[in-house]
Amino acid sequence: MKTLSSQLYERAEELRSFLNKANHAYYVLDSPLMEDVVYDKLYRELIDLEKQNPDLITPDSPTQRLGGKPAQGFKSIKHRVPLLSLDNAFNLEELMAWYQRTKKVIEEKDSNQLIKPLLPMVGELKIDGNALALSYSNGMLVRAATRGDGKAGEEITSNVKTITSIPLSLQINNPPEWVEVRGEAFIPNNTFDEINLKREKNGENVFANPRNACSGTLRQLDPQVVASRRLDFFAYTLHLPEEWNPQNDDLLKPQGQWQALQWLKKAGFKVNPNAQLLKTMQEVQNFFNFWEVNRYTLPYETDGAVIKIDNFEAQIYAGFTQKAPRWAIALKYPAVEAPSKLIKLTYQVGRTGVVTPVAIFKPVTLAGTSVSRATLHNANRIADLDLHSDDTIVIRKAGEIIPEVVRVVKELRPFEAKPLNLPTNCPECESKLIREIDASATCCINSSCPAILRGALRHWVSKGALDVDGLGSKLIEQLVNRGLVTSIATLYELDTALLASLERMGVKSAENLVAALIESKKQPWHKQLYGLGIHHIGEANAKILATSFPSISQLSLTAKDSPEVIQIIHGIGKEIIESLNQWFSNPCNQELINSLKRVGFSLEASEADVAIQNKSDKQLQSSVNGKTFVLTGTMESLSRTQAKSIIEKNGGKVNSSVSSNTTYLVAGTKSGSKLTKAQTLGIEIINEQQLKNMLSIE
């Protein structure tokens, strides 16, 4: 058994080795091993380890230097003013902590109280490109260099002169003896797409992202290649001689970052138009939140916001750490991807018997929320990942919602790690698991498996099905574990006295639950059909089938004897037909149907349902018939459930995500990423009132 100290030592060694390898690949070989967000997270983990355990720090740790070594092929030159990197904040709490620390340092050094208590800041977008140091002598561009290690970089003046947004001479009448400008070279998104398309046609490897393409371009030995890729540039920092005093007809010497940006614009530089002067932390937060949502509308990549103390004198008081200025920080957008350490695999058995592996890992923050588990779908996915015990895995949120394991960082795999696989027996009932040839799912086929029964009951009482209030997962588990419920039908044999005797159940709760069970028998036929949990029969398909087959006996007979009739129905494909045939051919399910009828379910359409169906011709005239809607944000007078129900009753369809097939996005207040995606795709966006007008709702 390894001690905690030995585990920390090994982890630190793993991280040092891998991050140094990644630095070499990125800075020297121009061949990145991973995305920046993944590198940042691993780097942050090493920093935290070393901070808590200083004895883990070694001279070769990547935390002990600023950047990578210059690539061979270019002359190394020393920067007149160091080109330092920025410390990162990964949430607003860390940003506030930075502000309070910086404010305290400034107030302690500002003995004459020349700086106001509130420190105005400048917010700028953090462009995902490559930092450049530009040197001007008497107004003329004489040298350009990459960041390198912050003290010295690669001299790439000929390449930089091909970037048309960088002035070769300053537009100033009487320029200072020297001017140092810092900024970011980048490749716009549309140019990046064109470059990759051309490389693909020529049989060349495509670039992973615009930043990598920009880095590779700046290190081209042929300036004509650089010119052909049409790089762009935003200037963001200015250094001037301390003794320079401009004449009255010249640009005034800036006293802060905001004035410096205006100076750069007047001197002929391109400055990001989205920079803002921010007087309070609330304004900083608003700036960050706005661009977190709207960054996808920009023609270039941005991975965060840079926040700087505006006043130059305050910046001097704040000073520098060994690696970064104290007066500026990069606030990164929530990670789309992040690395974590696998703790174990667990296995869930669903209501259909499918066994799903679930990865449990150390919590990471993605898109503003903490996640610690992700499904792996099936045995194929485990094999594709080549997943081993104690692996370092990369997590992302698919569609910004569902966590998923993207890949394994095999370079960080412990020597003693063992391959992981699905179990051979059901983790719930120990029955032998079955996997059919050419099937991806591994299943428990024991109909008495407690996990299958619990899943079936949860589905039956859910809002989309029978909507039984008061029957939650914990109570279901108690009923199944005690053997009080052995099928859906036996739910309806429970009485008040028995329920009241259970944990956390009083007489009143028991009476309410019995009443809810009785009331659920009145639910329409399509909800009963959906509640049966037949594989591939969701709410929409249940409604389609219930409309065409007004009773379970008709549906059962057709599924077994005339499945081709079902295939004629819109939206019902071969997979669904096979599922219906298998379900109705199972004697256990036939017994379930009979049991449900014995406890009072008709399993057929009511007269009212038939009457509604007879009005379908009128529904076809509806302005929403055949249209696809997506709902986002909060509506004032309609809940999402109500809106969805009304749209569907009028012949429309409601999807959960925006795609090119979406007809309308209904946007309420506090709309999020769906609104941004709809704007990008050119989807028509309507508000709640416009939807109500379509549906003739007062």
CATH for 185: 3.30.470.30
335 or 690: whose pLDDT is higher? Answer: 690
Q: Which of 21, 104, 126, 560 is catalytic?
A: 126
126 in catalytic set? yes
Place of tokens 């960080």: 412
Q: Domain check: are 343 and 428 in the same one?
A: yes
Query: Does some domain include residue 80?
Result: no
Q: What percent of the chain has pLDDT over 70?
A: 90
Q: pTM of the prediction? A: 0.49
Helix (H) or strand (E) holding 125: strand 121-127
| CATH of residue 410 | 2.40.50.140
Position 178 confidence tier, pLDDT thresholds 50, 70, 90:
very high
114 or 437: whose pLDDT is higher? Answer: 437
Q: Domain check: are 254 and 145 in the same one?
A: yes
| Number of domains within the chain | 5
Q: Domain check: are 531 and 593 in the same one?
A: yes
Number of Cβ within 10 Å of residue 563's Cβ equals 16
Which of 332, 353, 373 terminates a domain? The answer is 332
Q: What's the DSSP call for residue 297? A: G
Q: Domain check: are 164 and 295 in the same one?
A: yes
Query: pLDDT at position 679, please?
Result: 83
610 or 252: whose pLDDT is higher? Answer: 252
Query: Does some domain include residue 76?
Result: no
Residue 105 scores a pLDDT above 60:
yes
Domain that holds residue 436: 338-446
DSSP 59-115: TT-GGGSSSPPPPTTS-EEE-SS------EE-SHHHHHHHHHHHHHHHHHH-TT--S
Burial of residue 189, with CB atoms counted within 10 A of its CB: 0-12 exposed, 13-18 middle, 19 or more buried: middle
Burial of residue 614, with CB atoms counted within 10 A of its CB: 0-12 exposed, 13-18 middle, 19 or more buried: exposed
524 or 206: whose pLDDT is higher? Answer: 524
Query: pLDDT at position 122, please?
Result: 96
| CATH of residue 12 | 1.10.287.610
Position 466 confidence tier, pLDDT thresholds 50, 70, 90:
very high
Which of 430, 446, 462 terminates a domain? The answer is 446
What is the spatial distance between Cα 516 and Cα 468, in angstroms, rounded to a whole number? 6
Position 90 confidence tier, pLDDT thresholds 50, 70, 90:
confident
Both structure tokens of 645? 């129900």
Contact between residue 392 and residue 408 where contact means Cβ atoms under 8 Å apart: yes
Q: Domain check: are 126 and 268 in the same one?
A: yes
Query: pLDDT at position 296, please?
Result: 81
Q: Domain check: are 440 and 454 in the same one?
A: no
Query: Does some domain include residue 600?
Result: yes
Ramachandran angles phi, psi of 209, nearest 5°: -160, 170
What is the spatial distance between Cα 241 and Cα 361, in angstroms, rounded to a whole number? 53
Query: Does some domain include residue 207?
Result: yes
Which of 415, 446, 477 terminates a domain? The answer is 446
Q: Domain check: are 129 and 232 in the same one?
A: yes
Residue 271 scores a pLDDT above 90:
yes
Q: Domain check: are 29 and 57 in the same one?
A: yes
Q: Domain check: are 50 and 126 in the same one?
A: no
Query: Does some domain include residue 512?
Result: yes
Query: Does some domain include residue 82?
Result: no
Number of Cβ within 10 Å of residue 190's Cβ equals 11
Q: Domain check: are 115 and 200 in the same one?
A: yes
Query: pLDDT at position 121, please?
Result: 94
Position 460 confidence tier, pLDDT thresholds 50, 70, 90:
very high
For the chain, counts of helices (H) and of strands (E) = 26, 20
Burial of residue 641, with CB atoms counted within 10 A of its CB: 0-12 exposed, 13-18 middle, 19 or more buried: exposed
Contact between residue 671 and residue 633 where contact means Cβ atoms under 8 Å apart: yes
Q: Domain check: are 200 and 170 in the same one?
A: yes
95 or 61: whose pLDDT is higher? Answer: 95
Query: Does some domain include residue 375?
Result: yes
Query: Does some domain include residue 73?
Result: no
Residue 2 scores a pLDDT above 60:
no
Per-residue burial over 314-327, b if 16 or more Cβ lie within 10 Å, else e, is bbebbeeeebbbbb
What is the spatial distance between Cα 29 and Cα 496, in angstroms, rounded to a whole number? 73
560 or 287: whose pLDDT is higher? Answer: 287
CA angle (279, 280, 281) in 5-degree steps:
140
> Amino acid letter at 184?
E
User: Mean pLDDT throughout 225-236?
Assistant: 88
Q: Which residues contact 649 (CB under 8 A, 6 or more apart)?
A: 612, 619
Q: Domain check: are 425 and 281 in the same one?
A: no
- Chain segment 644-680, per-residue pLDDT in tens: 877 877 778 888 888 888 999 998 877 777 888 888 8
